[in-house]
Every structure is written in C-alpha cells, then in structure tokens.
Amino acid sequence: MTVKVCGICGGSGAGKTTLTRRVLSSLGTDLVSVLAFDSYYRDLTDIPMSERVLRNYDHPDSLDHELFVNHLDMLRAGRSIDVPIYDFATHTRRAETERVEAHPLVVVEGILLASFPEVAARIDLLVFIDVSEDIRLERRIKRDVAERGRRPDDVRRQFAETVAPMHDLFVEPFKNSADRVVGIDEDYDVVARELCASMLVDDAA
C-alpha cells in the first residue's frame, strides 16, 4: 500500500481540526487515517500539579515528537497504531489508548508540525491555515471553556503569555514553506476536495 501524508498546521484556533474533518468526510474512514499532534503532549504524572500548570505547553519541548514520529512511520509502513489519549485537565495520559488503522492517506494536524524537521520531512503536502490572531483567540476561548473546563480570563492570559509569543517563533515562520496556504475566507469543503485530489492523483492514475 502506498501511503501519503498531508500535514495541516497553523495557529491555535485556526481551524486545523475542522479542515481535517472535511478531508475525512470527503474521502471516508476507509481511505484516511487521522493523527493529531495534540495527543502527544508529554505525560507529566511524575510532577506535582502546581508545577504542571506552570509549564509552557506552546513550546515544542512540551510534545513527545519522538513517539509521534515513530507512530507516523508505522502508519506510513501500513501498520496500525495505538495513540495516547491526553487529559488536558490533569496534563497526563490516560491508561487507555485509541486505535488508528493504517490507510492510504494519513492526515496529521497540529500547531507545531513544521517546527520539527523530522516531522516535516515525512509530510508530502504541508498545508498552513492562515487566520488572524483575534479570530484565533476568540475560537480558543470558546473551545477551552466548552471542552476543557477553563475560565475565559485564564485562556486570555495564557494566550498573551505563551500562545502568541510561541506562535511568532515556532508557527508563523513556516507559513512561507507550506505547499498550500488556506485563507479565512476559503470554503473548507472546496479546499478538502482539492487536497484529496492532489494527494491521491498518482494512485488514481
């Protein structure tokens, strides 16, 4: 089986997961494996909660990129994997894992994908979603309050202290190296179909 990898990156709240879901919907679960970099935050079970909350989770060091690369290589080789399930409330990994089956197209999505050379080297098509900071902050507040039980003021504080500065250092610089830059006004359904056609054109031929 020939496996191709599409990487979807961009700032927090840019719409990476939304576009990933559109690609999955366009092709179906029999053709697409989805691997989220957010599942690979390092497990901080061994340190006190008082220290966990002070960590900079927007810096590349917060991610277990070694395991991510290993799992990505397994998918590229046609082997299924067991992905960690990360608990954002406790900054730890749960005991259970999630099975991801190997398919011809692997979509990897994450804020910091392009900042790791060993990850970027494994991506056949890199997509950068370009969305303004104010919109990304608004979306992040809605998500973190609804899904992670956080308070709006805490989300704004973290965004100002770490999210925005780390975006400037480790995310934005890779926009110009992306194969495709997606703007805020683009129709994600159209973009998804374009990406699917581009990634699978060789197989179709």
Whether residue 158 lies inside any domain: the answer is yes
CB 12 within 8 A of CB 140: yes
pTM score of the predicted model: 0.92
| Span 60-99, pLDDT tens digits | 999 999 999 999 999 999 999 999 999 988 999 999 999 9
**Across 159-183, average pLDDT:** 96
CB 171 within 8 A of CB 111: yes
- pLDDT of residue 205 exceeding 50, the answer is no
Predicted pLDDT of residue 150: 87
Whether residue 159 lies inside any domain: the answer is yes
CB-based contacts of 74: which residues, under 8 Å, 6+ apart? 80, 81, 102
- Please count the structural domains in the chain: 1
Whether residue 202 lies inside any domain: the answer is no
**Across 150-161, average pLDDT:** 93
| Span 101-150, pLDDT tens digits | 999 999 999 999 999 999 999 999 999 999 999 999 999 999 989 988 88
Q: Which domain holds residue 11?
A: 4-197
Whether residue 204 lies inside any domain: the answer is no
* CATH code of the domain covering residue 20: 3.40.50.300
Whether residue 93 lies inside any domain: the answer is yes
Whether residue 10 lies inside any domain: the answer is yes
